[in-house]
Amino acid sequence: MNRMEIKIGNGLRLVAEQNVQPYEREMFIGIIDENDQWIQDLVIVRNEYEHVTKSVKDTEVKWNDNIFEVMVFGEEYNEDYTDLFKIPFAFAEEDEYETDD
């Protein structure tokens, strides 16, 4: 797992942390305290994906290389994101991506 931290005062740190397999194309950004406890979500950035079911017990993640999702947690006490942005990859061909908008 990859992780980057920036001290922001009061014993708090801004953290960007890569998720683990099979969600390795996902990065969590948030605030942790002096005890390494995650205390506030800010943003999740990832490639768009969907779960593909191969069988009852076998599901895989299918990544869309041409769309990024940015989920913003705009309310400090809400555990659910408040805004979702779908951003096409700048170098993708127009016919290679689709958005729901």
Res 74: pLDDT: 95
- pLDDT tens-digit map of 66-84: 999 999 999 988 889 999 9
Res 11: pLDDT: 93
Whether the CB-CB separation of 67 and 47 falls below 8 Å is answered with yes
Our CA angle for 57, 2, 82, nearest 5°, is 70
Statement: residue 95 has pLDDT above 90: no
